[in-house]
Amino acid sequence: MTNDALTFSRPVHVHEVPATGRHFNIATSESEREAVARQLGLPGIAELSARLVVSPFRKDGLAVAGTVHARLTQTCVVSAEDFENTVEAPVEIRFSPDGQDPNADFDLAELNDPDAEDPPDLLTGGEIDLGAIIAEFLALALDPYPRKPGISFEGPAEDADLSPFAALNALKNKDQ
């Protein structure tokens, strides 16, 4: 875990969650937003908050559901200009002591049904970190190729004179 990830940490232990679940309205400080922006390679995050419900899952696991909201700055892949963007990311994840370690190797052949429900993630130490979950789901919701509104990519015009064969033909005609 990076130092940045540790600066935005909201640990929740299994024993802190009642059977009816526990609601969290998480707001972030400027230093936490800066840490998440560095972690995600963003120019900046002006606003980052989450409304989450943590509830028991099976005997000794936890389930997290809710929404992450962010107002952030991204860099356009076409114009290289920074622009403001708003992201709403749904959160739904489960943790269990007998869950799958997300860092473990897996066999692609075991993925028979791509529409099947994901197995729970591995719960270690009886604790989850809502800060890490918020950063992860924000990262998943980001467009990997962000474009500033109104900007589109215009490729070179289709012109026969731009063809490499046209250049060769011009050299051939020049010699004759």
Pairing mode, if any, of strands 121-122 and 82-96?
parallel
Over 80: is that where the pLDDT of 117 sits?
Answer: no
Q: Which amino acid is at 118?
A: D
Angle at which helices 130-141 and 30-40 cross, to 10°: 50
The three-class DSSP label of residue 108 is helix
Q: What is the pLDDT of residues 131-164, one digit of tens each?
A: 999 999 999 999 999 988 887 777 666 655 566 7
Secondary structure element (H or E) that encloses residue 132, with its range: helix 130-141
Q: What is the pLDDT of residues 17-37, one digit of tens each?
A: 999 999 999 999 999 999 999
Q: How many residues does the chain have?
A: 176
DSSP secondary structure letters along 16-42: GS-TT-EEEEEE--HHHHHHHHHHHT-
| CA–CA dist 68, 48 (Å, integer) | 7
Domains of the chain, by residue range, sit at 3-175
The model carries a pTM of: 0.78
